[in-house]
Amino acid sequence: MKSQKCKNCTHYSAYYKQWSGSYGRLNNGFCSKHQKAQTQFETCENFLSSGQKEKIREKRLLIQLEQSLISINEIAQILKEKFSADN
């Protein structure tokens, strides 16, 4: 995979400085993946765009929903068996 600049990565958070009443973005920031300060122009093999992060989040959500549906169906089956045994 091609390396991308840190400034476009979701793991990167830029540092800001206050300049006479307004804030300006600095060329340095913090990488949560490497747990260290880096410049925005560095590159990394762990680059993750916001689109990729959203796809990962969506996939995890679908897996969780599928597991929940299986649990609900198991509960429904137990209740059906219990009520049919009582009658």
| Residue range 34-80, pLDDT digits in tens | 788 888 877 877 777 767 777 878 888 999 999 999 999 999 999 99
Nearest to 46, CA basis, from 77, 2, 16, 85? 2
Residue 46 has a pLDDT of 77
Domain locations along the chain? 1-48, 49-87
| Residue range 5-38, pLDDT digits in tens | 777 787 888 888 888 888 888 888 888 887 888 8
SS3 category, 37: strand
pTM for the model stands at 0.46
* Pair of tokens at residue 80: 């059906």
What is the C-alpha to C-alpha distance for residues 18 and 7, in angstroms, rounded to an integer?
20
